[in-house]
Structure 1
Amino acid sequence: MLGKTYDTQVCSAARALEVIGERWSLLIVRDVLFAGATRFADFQRLGIATNILAKRLDSLVDAGVLERRSSKEQPDRSGYAVTRKGRDLAPVIIALTQWGDRWAAPDGPPILYRHTGCGGAVTEQTTCDTCGEVTDLAQLHVVHGPGFPEALSASRKHRPDVADLR
């Protein structure tokens, strides 16, 4: 598990994993986004212990991924709704599903994401915002972004490497 401070981490992926990297958290978000889960009982079908489920739901609410909403019919019982921050995880879940379909689904994809409008397959792809799709990972490289610490940037006059991400 990654630490809670990032004095030595210069990586948004590492920071994101602190919010959603625990397996139950991502499965909870998946169920809210794609299975209509809103209640504590809906998430129990995941097979997660109730104490762990309560902690994960609290952490997702604290992180702003989910929000609690009171029921009009039963005001003493709250449900959960996804926030914009949580909706932005949909492409991550779709991409992870695609990877799982390729490498962990020997009998084929167990579920498919479809576009409601036309029924077409929904997929995630790595693309270049200038010229289009990137078809080979050898075409990718990393450069320092605006959030890269100036002190580290000044000491590195070369292309960033894996050490920069730690």
Structure 2
Amino acid sequence: MTQLSNRISSVDRTLLLLGDRWIYLILGEAFFGVHGYDEFQSRLGIATNILSNRLKKLVKHGIMEKEKNPKDGRRFIYRLTKKGLNLYPIPLAMMSWGDRWLSGTDGPPLILHHKSCGKSFQPVMCCSECGEAINARDVSFTYTLGAHKTSKR
């Protein structure tokens, strides 16, 4: 059997791609509707070389797409692709955990509202088959052939 250290999991691959504070902050702004390079830079206070590097990485991996700005053809905008939009549960889960364990006496820095019903909510992980809420103790797993591929580092 392959040693655990030689396995490359989906979590490992995702962390190799996204495991950077700036990537998550850029994605967070994109989820809030930021598209322009200058707006990312000013809202995040990120150095331009770091922003450029991270945006190129997100575009290269199909998480964002770079388009000419329709209002100013000399500039570009960055939009989340379907692959990028599919990342939304990750920052939601991180935010929920941070709200619970790191917020302090002032409470969370923002509250999410579901547009359809107008209510504030807490993200909940649930089973795609039965809809029941799940936590770590409710899950078992089976290794697949993909678990035995070795990591190329």
Matched, 1:110 2:113: no
Instruction: Return the alpha-carbon distance in structure 2 between the equivalents of residues 125 and 81 of structure 1.
Output: 26
The answer to whether the 8 A contact 2:7-2:148 is kept is: no
The answer to whether the 8 A contact 2:7-2:147 is kept is: no
Instruction: Return the alpha-carbon distance in structure 2 between the equivalents of residues 123 and 90 of structure 1.
Output: 14
Q: Which moves more between the two structures, 11-20 or 139-148?
A: 139-148
What's the CA shift for 1:130?
Answer: 4.2
What's the CA shift for 1:141?
Answer: 2.7
Alignment partner of 1:14 out of 12, 17, 32: 12
Unaligned runs of 5+ in 2: none
- Counterpart of 1:86, as a letter, is G
TM-score by length of 1: 0.77
Unaligned runs of 5+ in 1: 1-6, 153-166
Instruction: Return the alpha-carbon distance in structure 2 between the equivalents of residues 20 and 122 of structure 1.
Output: 26
What's the CA shift for 1:86?
Answer: 0.6
The answer to whether the 8 A contact 1:95-1:123 is kept is: no
Percent identical residues: 35
Which residue pairs with 2:133 in the alignment? Answer: 133
Which residue pairs with 2:38 in the alignment? Answer: 41
Helix, strand or coil at the partner of 1:68: strand
Give 1:1-166 correspondences, 5 Å limit: 8-34=6-32, 36-44=33-41, 45-106=43-104, 107-131=106-130, 132-134=132-134, 136-145=135-144, 147-149=146-148
TM-score by length of 2: 0.83
What's the CA shift for 1:126?
Answer: 2.7
CA deviation profile, 1:34-75 (whole Å, cap 9, x unmatched):
2x1111111112121111111011101111111101112211
Which residue pairs with 1:158 in the alignment? Answer: none
Helix, strand or coil at the partner of 2:98: helix
The structure 1 segments of at least 4 consecutive aligned residues displaced by more than 4 Å after TM superposition are none
Instruction: Return the alpha-carbon distance in structure 2 between the equivalents of residues 51 and 115 of structure 1.
Output: 36
Helix, strand or coil at the partner of 1:75: strand
Q: What count of residue pairs does the alignment treat as equivalent?
A: 143
RMSD of aligned alpha carbons: 2.1
